Structure 1
Amino acid sequence: MTRAFLLPISLLLVGLFGAGAQIAAGSPGSAAVYLLVLVPLAGLFSPLAFPRSIGAAEAQRRSAADGRPIVYWRAGCTYCLRLRIRLGREARRLHWVDIWRDPAGAAAVRAVTGGDETVPTVVVAGRAHVNPDPRWVRGQLP
């Protein structure tokens, strides 16, 4: 779990130190810019920007029952963030599995990508799609 928050915490610390340095230099406007840019970026790259993750086994069970796609993702992945943002509110209708929190999810991704942990990997009706177009994913929702 600490690995998932490494990038967001780093961005937050850089923003705080940068803002502090700008305030010390007598430039509060520049300090505000540091904070206005880096704090939201830290939030976007944190796991908090994604719907709540479940385990791979639970996601497969739920997907079999309701037909909704499974998204395997990890924090800090820009392609996962792109998918999440472009899906908007529809993202809640998918089953999200964080491969850094669930070893079974990581193993499922490695099984379909030839040993790599390439995310986002979206599984629809048992068929995996690596880094699919968000419009296509939205079209797969029941």
Structure 2
Amino acid sequence: MGPILAGRTDNRPVRVGHVGAIGNVAVLMTAADTLTMYTTTWCGYCVRLKKALQAEGIPWTEVDIESDPAAAEFVMSVNGGNQTVPTVKFPDGSALTNPSIKDVKAKLGR
């Protein structure tokens, strides 16, 4: 488990996949600035997407839907009742299910 992000009201720990940087100073990015990736511990597609996000320097926040019922509800709400992961929620509130890194970059305008 990782740090608890400022601004979260449920006090559940989440893992931060990447911090931003300004010059040589690391800056913790808030959840509002980053993608939220809904995952499970056993999801191979999630591992692949996390590696691609890391390689591209795209920050994300990871939430395990098996330990967060509210996250599982969100994932089901955007996937026709299914708990399909990875589901990625963007800062604008939209979501993609099992996106490629190309899809993520296009959505972010990169």
Which bracket does the TM-score occupy, shorter chain normalised?
A: 0.5 to 0.7
Aligned-partner residue type, residue 137 of structure 1: V
Alpha-carbon shift at residue 137 of structure 1 (Å):
2.2
Alpha-carbon shift at residue 138 of structure 1 (Å):
4.2
1:135 equivalent in structure 2: 102
1:82 equivalent in structure 2: 48
Provide the aligned length of Structure 1 versus Structure 2.
86
Normalized per residue, which structure has more helix? Answer: 1
* 1:61-140 paired onto structure 2 within 5 Å: 62-64=30-32, 66=33, 68-88=34-54, 90=57, 93-124=59-90, 125-138=92-105, 140=108
RMSD: 2.9
Note the residue ranges of structure 2 that are not aligned, 5 or more in a row. 9-13, 15-29
- In the superposition, relative to structure 1, how do residues 63 and 122 fare at CA in structure 2: closer, same or farther (>3 Å)? same
Alpha-carbon shift at residue 115 of structure 1 (Å):
0.7
Alpha-carbon shift at residue 53 of structure 1 (Å):
7.7
Alpha-carbon shift at residue 136 of structure 1 (Å):
3.0
**TM-score between the two structures when normalised by the length of structure 2:** 0.63
Mark the structure with the bigger radius of gyration: 1
1:37 equivalent in structure 2: none
Alpha-carbon shift at residue 63 of structure 1 (Å):
3.5
**CA distance in 2 between partners of 1:108 and 1:82 (Å):** 22
What fraction of aligned residue pairs are identical, expressed as a percent? 36
Three-state SS of the structure 2 residue aligned to 1:135 is: helix
**CA distance in 2 between partners of 1:79 and 1:116 (Å):** 16
- In the superposition, relative to structure 1, how do residues 100 and 86 fare at CA in structure 2: closer, same or farther (>3 Å)? same
